[in-house]
Amino acid sequence: MRGYRAKMVEPTRLVPPEERERALSEAGYNVFNLPSDRVFVDLLTDSGTGTMSSEQWAALLLGDEAYAGASSFDHLREAVEETMGFSRIVPAHQGRGAENVLYGSLVAEGDTVLNNAHFDTTRAHIAANGADPVDCPTEEAGDFDSEHPFKGNFDVDAARDVADDVGPENIPAVVVTITNNSTAGQPVSVANLRETRAFADEIDATFVIDACRFAENAAFVQQREPEFEGESVAAIAREELSYADAVVMSGKKDGLTNIGGFVAVRDTPDLDALYDACRQRGILYEGFTSYGGMAGRDLEAFAVGLREAVTDHYVTARVEQVRELGEALDDAGVPIYWPPGGHAVYLDANALLPHIESSEFPGQALVCALYEEGGVRGVELGSFAFPDTDRPDLVRLALPRRTYSAEDIRHVVDTAAAVADRADELTGYRVVSEPSVPELRHFSARLEPLA
C-alpha cells in the first residue's frame, strides 16, 4: 500500500526506438551521458531523486538563510535528536562531504579502517587519507540465493583476524553501513550492531554507523529480527543508532531530500575532541557550522524528511515496492540477487549473459539493452565500474523514493523480460576512451559494442 497521492506531476515520455538508439550511441553507450528527458523510467540511483512531500515543500518557505545562528539549523538538529538520538551534528552539503569531515578528522596515514563493505565514496575518502579500507562482509553476502535475513552483517571474526594482523592500535574506526549498499542493499541486524560495538570497544576504535538508509534498515529489522516484532520503525531506528559513537548521513537517501548531509557525534566527553575536529574541518570544507553547504530551506526540508522517513507507513511501502519489483523480475525469469534489498534490485548479468566474458562487460550490455528496449536506465556495478577487481557483474535498478507507480514497475519488468528473451543476441562492449582516474571510470568513459 503506497500511502500517498500525486499533487504535482512531471511528464515522462517513452521516446521512439530510433531516438533511443541515437541517444545511446551519442552517449558513447554510457547511460551517465544520456539526457534525462530521453529516459522513461530512471532507476540510475535513489540518491536525491525522490519526491518531497507537501509538508517538505511548505517547509522550504520557512528557510532561515542567516549565515550564523539560523533557526533552520536548530530545526534540523531537533529532528536528528528525535529520530536518531544525537544532539551534536556538523552539517555538510551531502554524504561525501560528511565523510570528508569525519574521516579527515579520524583517520591518518597508514591506518586501517574496517567496514561491512565500503561504499565507493567511503572507500575513496579512507584511501585519500592514506589509510587502507578493508571490507568484512558476512559470508552469506556472496551467496546470491541465500535466504539469510541479514546478508549485510559485519563479520566480527574476519575483522578480529585483520586486527591481529595490522595491530588494533592502527584501526581508528570500525564502520557499519546500514543498509549495506555495496552488498545489494542488504540489511544489518541490531544483534550484529551490538556485537560490532563490543568489538570496537575491545580494540578501542571509534564505532561509526553510515546511516544513509537507517530507516529502510529498521523496516527490515522490524520484519525479520524476532526481538523487534511489533516495535515501531522509529523506535528501532533509534535503537540501531544508539550503539554508534558517530554517524555519517546523506540527506539524499533516508533524509528524503534532494541534497544535504551531516556528521553526528555522541555527546560524551571522550568524543569532544572528535566533535571539535569535525566542526573545524566542516568550516574549512563545507561552510559555517550552522549550514554546512546547505541553504536554510534545505535544512528545513531535511528536518521534515527525517521524521517522515521513520514512519511505519512510509518506509514499509518503500521496501515493499522494491520487493515487488524483485519478485516480479524473479517470476519473469530474470536472474537477480536474492532477496531484494531496501533501495534496489540487482540483476545478475553473468547468469543472464553467460556468453559475454567479464572483460567484455555483460552488465553494461544489459544496461544498454534495458535502455534500448524500454527507456529504462539502470547502472552497471561490475567489471566496468570496478576495473581490476573480481566483482560479479551486477546491474542495479534503484528506486527513487515515492516517485514511480505500479505501472512504471510493470514496464520495467516487461522491459527486462523482453531483454531476457533475446539475451543470446546481446554482444559485449569495449572501452574506447576513459578518464585518468580509474576508480571513476564508469562516470565518463565511452564504449562501443563489439560486432
What is the DSSP secondary-structure string of 273-341?
Answer: HHHHHHHHHHHHHT-STTTTT--HHHHHHHHHHHHHHTSHHHHHHHHHHHHHHHHHHHHTT--B-SS--
Closer residue to ligand PLP in complex, CB, 248/423: 248
Do 93 and 263 form a contact (C-beta atoms < 8 A)?
no
Closer residue to ligand PLP in complex, CB, 77/252: 252
Task: Mark 136-155 as b/e (b = at least 16 C-beta within 10 Å).
Answer: bbbebbeebeeeebbbbbbb
Distance CA 29, CA 132 (A): 33
Closer residue to ligand PLP in complex, CB, 53/94: 94
Region binding ligand PLP by CB under 6 A among candidate stretches 245-253, 274-282, 294-302, 399-407: 245-253
CA distance from start to end of the chain: 46
Distance in Å, CB of 182 to ligand PLP, minimum? 8
Contacts of 116 (CB under 8 A, 6+ apart): 135, 136, 137, 138, 152, 153, 154, 155, 175, 176, 177, 180, 183, 188
Residues 18-47 that bind ligand PLP (CB under 6 A): 47
Distance in Å, CB of 448 to ligand PLP, minimum? 29
Count the site residues for ligand PLP by CB under 6 A.
15
Closer residue to ligand PLP in complex, CB, 124/413: 124
Q: Nearest 5°: phi and psi at 184?
A: 55, 30
Closer residue to ligand PLP in complex, CB, 305/335: 305
Closer residue to ligand PLP in complex, CB, 47/350: 47
- Burial status of residue 5 (CB atoms within 10 A of its CB: 0-12, 13-18, 19 or more): exposed
Closer residue to ligand PLP in complex, CB, 179/415: 179
177, 183, 290, 350: which one binds ligand PLP (CB under 6 A): 177
The site map against ligand PLP for 87-126 (x = CB under 6 A) is -------xxx----------------------x-xx----
Residues 200-219 that bind ligand PLP (CB under 6 A): 210, 212
Closer residue to ligand PLP in complex, CB, 210/408: 210
Distance in Å, CB of 325 to ligand PLP, minimum? 19
Give the number of residues written for the chain: 451
Closer residue to ligand PLP in complex, CB, 343/411: 343
In the three-class reduction of DSSP (H, G, I as helix; E, B as strand; rest coil), residue 246 is classed as strand
Do 14 and 40 form a contact (C-beta atoms < 8 A)?
yes
Distance CA 170, CA 177 (A): 21
181, 217, 222, 364: which one binds ligand PLP (CB under 6 A): 181
Closer residue to ligand PLP in complex, CB, 293/326: 293
Distance CA 166, CA 157 (A): 15
402: which DSSP letter?
Answer: T
Distance in Å, CB of 430 to ligand PLP, minimum? 29
User: If DSSP states are collapsed to H, E and C, what string results for 104-132?
Assistant: HHHCCCCCEEEECCCCHHHHHHHHHCCCE
Distance in Å, CB of 213 to ligand PLP, minimum? 7
Owner of C-alpha cell 564508469:
442
Distance in Å, CB of 346 to ligand PLP, minimum? 14
Using alpha carbons only, give the angle 235, 228, 198 rounded to the nearest 5 degrees: 85
261, 335, 339, 340: which one binds ligand PLP (CB under 6 A): 261
Strand partners, 173: 113, 206
Distance in Å, CB of 24 to ligand PLP, minimum? 25
Distance in Å, CB of 254 to ligand PLP, minimum? 10
Do 304 and 119 form a contact (C-beta atoms < 8 A)?
no
Distance in Å, CB of 5 to ligand PLP, minimum? 28
**Residue 250 interacting with ligand PLP (CB under 6 A):** yes
Distance in Å, CB of 212 to ligand PLP, minimum? 4
Please tell me whether the peptide bond between 339 and the residue prior to it is cis, using omega within 30 degrees of 0: yes
In the three-class reduction of DSSP (H, G, I as helix; E, B as strand; rest coil), residue 46 is classed as coil
Nearest to ligand PLP by Cβ — which residue? Answer: 95
Distance in Å, CB of 119 to ligand PLP, minimum? 4
Do 450 and 360 form a contact (C-beta atoms < 8 A)?
yes
Do 385 and 346 form a contact (C-beta atoms < 8 A)?
no
Residues 375-434 that bind ligand PLP (CB under 6 A): none
Residues 269-328 that bind ligand PLP (CB under 6 A): none
Closer residue to ligand PLP in complex, CB, 121/146: 121
Site residues for ligand PLP per CB under 6 A: 47, 94-96, 119, 121-122, 177, 181, 210, 212, 250, 252-253, 261
